Every structure is written in structure tokens, then in C-alpha cells.
């Protein structure tokens, strides 16, 4: 008897449509994509390796791929993007581009020396499965390096929407996607079979002249809600009255003395290697020659 798949959280077609609508003015709003693409190259610079062929998973308009090529550490980048319009932009920006879904990679095992993903994987329904697929398309000793939005992202907006809808409607609808925590991602990297997995978190605070400017940026990069329909789940449209009240609460609760409002983002970074025979392996339990207590006390084993 096969295990039953949990219901999909996100409507993947809707995710692609949101990105399509955002494509025309994407770079006007994609400051986080620019920032983390730059950080991607900085992190890759700590690895003294050359990567002939890289996969940019969820490439948007190709900013991360362009940064990789400019770094000199990568010879060629294949960009995979769900949105046809953004994929076209990535192609025009000089990348070999495929239209495809991050949930079903159309590549043979052991195809890439490097796989990267910048601010996309929080939209997949099956993150454990996506990570397994990424590990499978890496060559032995190939590297995966990527980031996604973490659980503390847009806490201020989440609170404002909940308070406004509770006040006006007596209940709440899902408005902002649930996002993974650092410990979740670290565990999933291990479960996916990566060698030497690492996960860390970066906190970013952005200040806006008004909460509506934050909404404009979210729409401008295709990050608005894309929940899959669920039987029996309450779904109220975001009315003008509800949005206006949420913005009032946001301004009152999360503004600085100069009147600007704060928006919090958590960026969870993860890295891991395709398993290879020459990589260091953890010791088996009980095989250590020195106890941790002796090491802490500075004593030598007898």
C-alpha cells in the first residue's frame, strides 16, 4: 500500500502566472534577488574550485546565472524557470534556458558540477523531494548552494493582516505562505543525502516609506499568495477595506520615529555536496580514541 501524498499547498500554475505578470518590471523590484545573487558569488568564492557546468534552479530573469558567469568560477549555466516570460528574459540575458518546474527536474543523474537556487524553493510543495532531485543531478563531489525565505519573513505583515481580518471579519484566511525554519532546512539537507550539509540564516530588515510600497515590491517580483484550493478552507478575497485596515495597523505597530516602516526577511542558506568516495566521513559512534570530557579538560588518553 503506497503512502498517501499530502494535499498540495501551492498552486504551481498560479505561481508561474504571478511571475509572468511580474516579468516586465521585475528588476525594478527584485533588490533581494540582486542582493542574494551577489552573496551567492561571495559564498562560492570561499570554495577553491572551478565548475564547468552549473544549473540555476528557478532562475527568474537570470541574475544569479549572470553573476556566476561573471565570477569566472563557472563556464556555462543552464537556467531552469517556470515562468515563460522570465525564462525568455534569462535567454536574452545570455543563458541557456529551459522552461520547467523546480518540482520535477528534467535532467539525467550526475549532469551538473554545481547547482544553485536563489529565493525560489520556498514555493515548492515537496521541499524534501526537490532537494533529493537536486542531489541526484549533481555529479559526485558536485556542490549545491542555495537560499530560500525562512519562517520569520514578513512577520510584521502577517501580524497586521491577522489583526485586521480578525477585527473586521471575525476570522482569518491564509494570506502569507508558511515558510520553513532553519532547523527544518538543516534536517532536510541531511535526509536528502547531501554530504557535509550546512545551513545558516541571514536576517535582513528593509525600510519602506509606507506599507503599500512593500506590497508593490512583493507583486513586482511575483511573491504574492498562490495557495492551492482546499476543500472546506475559508478563502476571503483581500478587499480594499481589509487591506486599508491592515495597512493602518502595520503603520501604527511597525514604524520608526521617522515614519518609515520595517519589513523583516529571513534568508536561509544551505549547501551540500554530491556524495563521493574520497570525501571525509563522520566516525562511527564509539570509535573515537579520546572522550569529549578528556578533550575539554585537556587530559591525554591513557
Cα–chain-centroid distance for residue 243?
A: 26
pLDDT at position 293 over 50: no
Contact 51, 144 (CB under 8 A): no
Q: What does pLDDT average to over the chain?
A: 90
Distance CA 271, CA 280 (A): 16
Distance linking the first and last C-alpha atoms of the chain? 55
Average pLDDT over residues 263-272: 97
Q: Give the chain's radius of gyration (CA, Å).
A: 22
pLDDT band (50, 70, 90) for residue 173: confident
Q: Is 212 exposed, middle or buried (0-12, 13-18, 19+ CB in 10 A)?
A: middle
Taking only the tens place, the pLDDT of each residue in 108-117 is 999 999 999 9
pLDDT at 291 (0 to 100): 45
Cα–chain-centroid distance for residue 257?
A: 32
> What is the number of residues in the chain?
302
Taking only the tens place, the pLDDT of each residue in 189-239 is 999 999 999 999 999 999 999 999 999 999 999 998 888 877 656 667 788
Cα–chain-centroid distance for residue 162?
A: 24
CATH of 12-154+175-210+262-297, one of 3.40.50.460, 3.40.462.20, 3.40.50.150, 3.30.420.340: 3.40.50.150
pTM, full prediction: 0.88
Which range (95-109, 173-187, 253-267, 275-289) has the least confidence? 275-289
* Of 99, 135, 109, 111, residue with least CA distance to 12: 99
Amino acid at each position: 500500500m503506497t503512502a498517501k501524498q499530502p494535499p498540495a499547498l501551492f498552486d504551481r500554475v498560479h505561481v508561474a502566472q504571478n511571475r509572468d505578470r511580474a516579468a516586465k518590471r521585475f528588476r525594478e523590484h527584485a533588490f533581494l534577488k540582486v542582493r542574494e545573487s551577489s552573496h551567492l558569488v561571495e559564498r562560492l568564492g570561499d570554495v577553491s574550485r572551478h565548475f564547468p557546468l552549473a544549473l540555476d534552479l528557478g532562475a527568474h530573469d537570470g541574475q544569479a546565472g549572470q553573476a556566476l558567469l561573471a565570477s569566472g568560477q563557472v563556464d556555462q549555466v543552464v537556467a531552469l524557470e517556470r515562468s515563460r516570460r522570465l525564462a525568455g528574459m534569462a535567454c536574452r540575458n545570455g543563458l541557456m534556458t529551459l522552461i520547467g518546474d523546480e518540482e520535477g527536474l528534467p535532467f539525467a543523474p550526475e549532469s551538473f558540477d554545481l547547482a544553485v537556487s536563489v529565493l525560489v524553493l520556498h514555493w515548492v510543495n515537496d521541499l524534501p523531494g526537490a532537494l533529493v532531485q537536486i542531489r541526484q543531478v549533481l555529479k559526485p563531489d558536485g556542490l549545491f548552494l542555495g537560499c530560500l525565505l525562512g519562517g520569520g519573513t514578513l512577520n510584521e505583515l502577517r501580524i497586521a493582516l491577522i489583526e485586521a481580518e480578525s477585527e473586521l471579519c471575525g476570522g482569518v484566511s491564509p494570506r502569507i505562505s508558511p515558510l520553513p525554519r532553519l532547523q527544518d532546512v538543516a534536517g532536510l539537507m541531511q535526509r536528502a543525502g547531501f554530504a557535509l550539509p550546512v545551513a545558516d540564516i541571514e536576517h535582513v530588515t528593509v525600510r519602506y516609506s509606507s506599507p503599500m510600497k512593500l506590497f508593490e515590491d512583493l507583486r513586482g517580483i511575483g511573491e504574492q499568495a498562490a495557495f492551492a484550493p482546499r476543500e472546506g478552507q475559508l478563502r476571503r478575497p483581500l478587499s480594499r477595506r481589509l487591506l486599508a485596515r491592515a495597512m493602518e495597523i502595520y503603520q501604527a505597530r511597525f514604524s520608526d520615529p521617522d515614519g518609515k516602516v520595517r519589513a523583516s526577511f529571513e534568508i536561509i542558506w544551505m549547501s551540500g555536496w554530491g556524495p563521493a568516495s574520497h570525501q571525509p566521513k563522520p566516525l562511527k559512534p564509539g570509535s573515537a580514541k579520546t572522550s569529549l570530557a578528556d578533550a575539554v579538560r585537556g587530559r591525554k588518553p591513557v
